[in-house]
Amino acid sequence: MPKEPVIERGIPFPPIDLLARLLALLDQLILWNSKFKNRSVSDETLEHLRRFLIENELTDVKVRVNRLALADQYRRLFTNGKIFFLFRIFPGFFVTTLSLIFERITAGDYYNPFTDTIHIFSDLPPVVVHEGGHAKDFDRQESGGFYALMRAVPGMDLIQEDYATTTALEYFQTHQDEQNEIDGYKILYPAYGSYIGAYLNSVLPFGIGSLGAILGGHYFGRKKARIRKEQYAQAKAKLWRQDQAISKPSNVLPQSTNR
């Protein structure tokens, strides 16, 4: 029996949750998905993450769903043996404190390698498995602390985000989960475009870089989703034809050899 990951839900607090949903409207518009950062995560969505963590032997990773848990986060920060203690002090303490200050109201889904915790706020399987992909990425590194620092190097965030996105999409492909794979292209591609856009904004005025990169992500994501949907349809049609050929009785009777 594999070890189960620990998944904890926060206690609903309507005034704060409502404010968080209002503040998320712009991000939902940008990614064209009302379930992004909606602070209402279903058990079905969490089941995908639970299964991903078990299959990749990442059950030590903790999952918090719309939950602050300030004291326990600092406890995990200082007891996380996966990260060298100097990295946990800096930048780990700073990163964890900064994220916790704004987490319940403004934060999106993210993985904190310093506390080895995935924080979930969106009711989207591709997004939560994407965060699991970050946990898998850090788990394969010899020095998770140094790998976290490397994100400050220009372009490194693109490499890390690409790995997490590819891991999530391959996970759904492996499980032949057509709907979540297709949804993944539609949400993860424009999300990746937002990271590219941050670099383009340094050379293009008025946020044109971000807008163009996100729109490009929507275009390529939907194009890829359409292609994969057609491939799934063709595969199903082929299987149907094969089943028909096997189940259809032969109308040809063997000829008698008697004269």
Tens of pLDDT, residue by residue over 153-201, are: 999 999 999 999 999 999 999 999 999 999 999 999 999 999 999 999 9
Highest mean pLDDT among 4-13, 95-104, 248-257: 4-13
pLDDT for the residue 102: 85
Per-residue pLDDT at 24 exceeds 80: yes
Angle CA(96)–CA(102)–CA(108) in degrees, nearest 5?
85
pLDDT for the residue 168: 98
As to burial, measured by CB atoms within 10 angstroms (0-12 exposed, 13-18 middle, 19+ buried), residue 110 is middle
Over range 13-28, report the average pLDDT: 95
Q: Which of 113, 236, 130, 183 is nearest to 121 (CA)?
A: 130
Structure tokens at 86: 């100097």
Q: What is the mean pLDDT of the chain?
A: 94
Half-sphere exposure of 109 (CA within 13 A, CB side): 32
Pairing state between β 117-120 and 110-112: antiparallel
With a pLDDT cut of 70, the percent of the chain lying above it is: 96
Per-residue pLDDT at 248 exceeds 80: no
CB 40 within 8 A of CB 123: yes
Look up the pTM and report it: 0.93
Q: In what order do the strands lie in the sheet with 62-65?
A: 7-9, 62-65, 117-120, 110-112
Structure confidence at residue 259 as a pLDDT band (50, 70, 90)? very low
Query: Nearest 10 degrees: CA dihedral of 48, 54, 56, 59?
Result: 110
**Count, residues in the chain:** 259
